[in-house]
């Protein structure tokens, strides 16, 4: 009987481990892309992600962005740059909580060329 309970616990732990955390599938702008303008910054996830923090930095430092998505877990997160982005290289950094409860973070870059 003890063995059966033990096997059940091992199986339950394995099942938790198998439920992989959400991953970024794609972004807008695409990672590494060169774009003329940025109307929206978008992160798409394979499973809902609660994005807790996001920042955009460029050639002149941090650029203010406005979240369009609140703190609910989503598969599509959107934020809007507060200004027209000048030419240069930009990096987006984000942190979030995966649907399996794991803290996640990611980064990607793109170039704006007018």
Contacts with Cu ion by CB under 5 A lie at 21, 98, 100, 102
Phi and psi, residue 96, nearest 5°: -165, 175
User: In the complex, what is the shortest distance from the CB of residue 114 to Cu ion, in angstroms, rounded to a whole number?
Assistant: 40
In the complex with Cu ion, the residue whose CB is nearer, 27 or 99, is 99
Phi/psi at 44 (5° precision): -115, 135
Nearest to Cu ion of 99, 112 (CB atom): 99
Select the residue whose beta carbon is closest to Cu ion and give its number: 21
C-beta of residue 94 within 8 angstroms of C-beta of residue 79: no
Q: Closest Cα to residue 47, out of 98, 103, 109, 107?
A: 98
CB of 41 to Cu ion, least distance (A): 24
For residue 13, the minimal CB distance to Cu ion (Å) is 13
For residue 3, the 8-state DSSP code is H
3-class SS string, 7-20: HHHHHHHHHHHHCC
Residue number with CB closer to Cu ion (34 or 102): 102
Q: Which is nearer to Cu ion, 41 or 97 (CB)?
A: 97
Rounded to the nearest whole angstrom, what is the least distance from the CB of residue 21 to Cu ion in the complex? 3
């Amino acid at each position: 009987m003890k063995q059966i309970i033990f096997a059940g616990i091992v199986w339950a732990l394995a099942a938790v481990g198998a439920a992989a955390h959400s991953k970024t599938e794609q972004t807008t702008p695409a990672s590494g892309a060169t774009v003329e303008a940025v109307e929206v910054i978008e992160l798409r996830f394979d499973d809902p992600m609660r994005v807790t923090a996001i920042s955009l930095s460029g050639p002149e430092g941090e650029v203010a962005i406005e979240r369009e998505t609140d703190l609910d877990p989503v598969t599509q997160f959107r934020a809007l740059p507060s200004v027209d982005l000048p030419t240069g290289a930009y990096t987006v950094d984000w942190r979030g909580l995966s649907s399996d409860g794991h803290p996640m973070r990611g980064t990607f870059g793109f170039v704006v060329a007018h």
